[in-house]
Every structure is written in C-alpha cells, then in structure tokens.
Amino acid sequence: MPYTIETLDEGRIILQTFSKDFDMATDMARSWQECVALLDQSDHKMVLISDSRSLKLRNIEDIIQAANMARSSESKKLTQHPNLIKSVTITSSKVGHMAIKGLNSAAFGNLDIPVFQTMAAALDYARALLIYYNGVSS
C-alpha cells in the first residue's frame, strides 16, 4: 500500500503516512479524498499530519506535479475544510522542506504548512492546536 491513514487522539488527529512507493500522480487525490471523508464524518476540529519521511521525490517533475496538485479543487476540499484546523508535514528532506514552504505563496493559495523533522515534534504541535481550538488534551 503506498500510504496509510489512521486517526489518533480519539479521532482528532489524522495521520497520513506515505511509503516509498507513493506516486503523486496516482495516489495523492485518493489519499486526500479519504482524509476529507474523515473530516466530513467528524463533529470536531482536527489536525492532519502527513508523514513524508519515506516519500522519495524522484525529480523536479515530482515537485512541480505536487505543487500543481496543491492548487486543485481536490486540494481545496481538504485544505479549506471547516473541520481542519491545520495540515502539517514531517520530512527530513531539504528539498521536500523547501517545496512545502514554497506553497505559502499567492500562486498556491498561501498554504501555510508547518514542517517538522520528527513525529514527536509534529504530534506536540498538533496537540497544542487541539487544546487551543477544542480545549482538549490527549
């Protein structure tokens, strides 16, 4: 399976984990649809963590394709969902980090996606957001 999706902290955190076999062209839209379905079913605010540490960007075209997908209607269904507090990413790739930071521009809808190098740091951030928005701690 090129990715997994699970929930943590009583369903308040969506953890999307990409494997090394994840293909932007065939898997991204499907994974977003699954995340949107979880957000649709929720009666509370949630945080999405995308664990991209195993994802391999093979070439510049992968980066361009991902950036173009960030502007798509499928992406907007996820990033502008009323139950989504914030989307965050975990990556140890400097190229991936720069690509994600590049999404925070007008051309890509000013997507402010915090980037972390460890799962622990991403979870700490997500849980702090949940406390702020929902008044809930794990």
What CATH class does 3-134 carry? alpha beta
44-53, 71-80, 88-97, 100-109, range with the lowest pLDDT: 100-109
Element of type H or E holding 128: helix 119-134
Separation between Cα atoms, residue 29 and residue 35, nearest integer Å: 10
Residues 6 or more apart in contact with residue 99 via CB below 8 angstroms? 57, 63, 66, 67
Confidence grade of residue 47 (pLDDT, cut at 50, 70, 90): very high
Domain boundaries, the chain: 3-134
pLDDT given for residue 133 in this prediction? 87
The 10s digit of each residue's pLDDT in 97-127 is 667 776 666 666 667 889 999 999 999 999 9
Distance CA 85, CA 59 (A): 31
Amino acid at 66: A
Among 11-15, 39-43, 86-90, 91-95, the minimum mean pLDDT is found in 91-95
Bin 19: left if φ > 0, else alpha if -120 < ψ < 50, else beta: beta
> How many CB atoms within 10 Å of residue 20?
9
CA distances from 33 to 5, 6, 28, 117 (A): 11, 14, 9, 25
Whole-number CA gyration radius for the chain: 14
pTM: 0.86
> How many residues does this entry show for the chain?
138
